Structure formats: structure tokens, C-alpha cells
Chains A and B, each alone.
Chain A
Amino acid sequence: MPVMFHIPGPLRSFTAGQAEVDLAASPATLSEALAALWVRHPGLRDRLVTEQGQVREHINLFVGNEHFRYTGGLATPLAADTEVWIIPAISGG
């Protein structure tokens, strides 16, 4: 069953305005899901991860309701019908 990504406003210019992106495929891990996401929407990759493949410092990924940091990082296994939220952190300035 598909994995759904919730896309924050600033990134929607790279998903043609879509707030939600459904992956028809069934990726096994968060890492695979992200790879599939940016095959479809190539502009997202460099905005979510650094060139060394680390999720950018002030970007939070939630697998369901849990921060990916506590679910196994990018290797987090994804169950069927998982929703992944991409949410920028609170930041000042």
C-alpha cells in the first residue's frame, strides 16, 4: 500500500503545488521512500538533505506521529499506508 508524503508550503513549487504526494510503490524504509519521492519530484532532494545525504538540520521528518530520529532514522521501516510529514523546525531570526 502506498506511502504518503505531506509536503510543506515552501516546497510545493517542486511538487507542482501538491500538498500530498502518494507513492504508488511500497518502499521498505524511509530512505527508499525519500529516494522514490525525489525521483518523482527532483527538486525536493537537495532541499531536504545535504550533499552528504544527511537530512538538513532544521528539517523534521515524522513517520506517522513520531520524529524519525526515534524510529530508526533514515532506515526506519515503513508499514503499509504510512504517512510521512516533512515539517520545518521552529527557528528564530
Chain B
Amino acid sequence: MPSIRFRLNGAPTEIDADPDGMLLDALRGPLGLTGPHFGCGSGECGACRVLVGDHAVTSCDTPMWSVADKDVTTLEGLGSFERPHPLQRAFIAEQAMQCGYCVAGILMSAAALLRQNPRPTETEVRAALDRNLCRCGSQNRMVRAILRAANEAAAT
């Protein structure tokens, strides 16, 4: 299998992978990450979203060849307990989940939105998350958390 190089959460990474294999399988398999979650395998639910460059993509149907030489960011790379991303702080502050399985992908969609549009309106937030599903009904809390994070980022 050919070797594919990309940057994963800022670190140069090289793995032997089928170019037509899916990014999620590489991330959760040989690369050992658990931030992106498997939900459907066909790009419909968004639990597996990661950033490729500044865009949130569903890693379950993103082929490996397409991320060669790109920057891939997963939830692990968004922030940490010690240095949380404003979105992570805001999701805790708003208690913005029930089960939290979908949150890994929703945080990445939200991160992409804030990179492209640092002060989104509520309608823009909802539109940006429309391809992420949440089954527990925590959407409104998540929207509030994203707006809170945007406000905080703007204030600092």
C-alpha cells in the first residue's frame, strides 16, 4: 500500500493506506484516535466530522488520497483540558449535550464555522450544523454554546 502523508492535529504523519480507503478508518484504526465517531458510514449524520484545512468533512466518506499533504484536525486537536478551545469551554458551560456521541462531530462543524465566520447569527449556526444529527434533542443548547464561544472569542 502506498504511503500517504498529511498533518494530523499539527504533527506530520505518514501511514501506509489504500488511497481509496476512508479517512475515518485510518484515524480510528492505525492512528488510534477516538475523537471522530462512526455513526452511519455514509456521510449522513456528521458524528465523524473532522477539519480538512478549514472545512469540516465527514471522514467516513472522505478518501485518503484527498487528504494527502493537507491539515487534518480531529477533536483531539481542537483543545485540551489544560488549553480548551472556546467551543469546548462553552459546551461545558451550557451543558450542551445529553449523551454526547454526536458532539465530537458537531464541535468540528462549529469550529469550521467560526474560522470562516467568527460572528455568526443563530440562523447561520443552525444552517452550518444542519448536516449534523443529534438524536437526544440537545440542539438548542449546542447553538447557545456556539454563540457563547463566538462572543467570548470576540471579547478577547
Query: Do the two chains belong together in a single complex?
Result: no
